[in-house]
Amino acid sequence: MQLISYLKEIYQGNSRYARRSRYLLLGFDLAVISFFVATTFLADAPWIRVMDYIIGGAMIVELLARMLAHQDRLAFLIRPLTLVDILVIFSLVAPAVIGNFAFLRIMRALRLIHSYRVLQEFRSNFRFFARNEEIVFSVINLMVFVFVVSAMVFVLQVRVNPEINNYIDALYFTVTTLTTTGFGDIILIGEAGRLLSVLIMIVGISLFIGLVRSIFRPQKVRYECVDCGLTRHDSDAVHCKHCGALLHIQTAGQ
């Protein structure tokens, strides 16, 4: 019981110690994400597998700690982020038993989705992230899409397409297709490859346009109107554009 109380304080408390502990966990998340992204550009090596096992063990301990601290542990286990962590842990420890199959790269890329938890914590504690939330989310959405889809391109094409020899080739194809550059030096073959190309063009370009719009259009702030529930307003708004209710948005001058 003392251990559970300690874990609840770390994950849910507001004390300075609890916040510092969560920042350490956030640093771990960012380091893991950076490691996974960096190693996708490297050939498989024994030291990478050793690091995978170490990270997998640390993630198991951290996942169990979060489960013990959660009020409803069954609900915690079926949360999307928890399922992502379980898949990533499997991808890290499975090679010791079943071999390092290429499809596991996709599962490792899913760890990027965990960056949403990082952003939520930063949004609560740093004004910059709260003020630029839409832009940051757009960047993360685009990054997640690019790296996960590049992993899918690599897995589906590396054995059948002579033009896809490594992850960099897959990333190059994804980016050129996403930006509609389309040099044509690399194309995906087979029905699955053509369908994946269509997915990149439709979904990826939509995400790219959303990022451009969020950068160049006027910035909004998150503040829920007590009358109509509208949550996005101009930073200098005095009245809600939807219902006209008086707003009390805090600014740097207040």
* Phi, psi (rounded to 5 degrees) for 125: -120, -15
The residues pairing with 220 across neighbouring beta strands, listed in sequence order, are: 234
Question: What pTM did the predictor assign?
Answer: 0.63
Alpha-carbon span 115 to 40, nearest angstrom: 17
- Quote the pLDDT of residue 254: 47
Residue 240's alpha-carbon distances to 157, 214, 221, 227, 244, in angstroms, are 51, 21, 12, 9, 5
Cβ 198 vs Cβ 187: under 8 Å: no
Alpha-carbon span 177 to 171, nearest angstrom: 10
Instruction: Delimit the domains of the chain by residue range.
Output: 1-130, 132-217, 220-254
- Quote the pLDDT of residue 64: 92
Alpha-carbon span 120 to 115, nearest angstrom: 9
Helix (H, G, I), strand (E, B) or coil at 126: coil
- Indicate the angle between helix axes 115-125 and 133-157, nearest 10 degrees: 170
∠ CA 137-76-149, rounded to 5°: 40
Nearest to 108 by CA among 165, 167, 158, 148: 148
Q: Which residues contact 69 (CB under 8 A, 6 or more apart)?
A: 4, 7, 8, 10, 11, 12
Residue with tokens 């992230």: 129
Is CATH 2.40.30.10 correct for 1-130? no
10-residue mean pLDDT profile of the chain (254 residues): values are: 84 81 81 77 79 88 89 85 82 70 60 63 68 72 79 83 85 85 82 86 79 66 75 72 76 51
The residues pairing with 233 across neighbouring beta strands, listed in sequence order, are: 221
CATH number of 132-217: 1.10.287.70
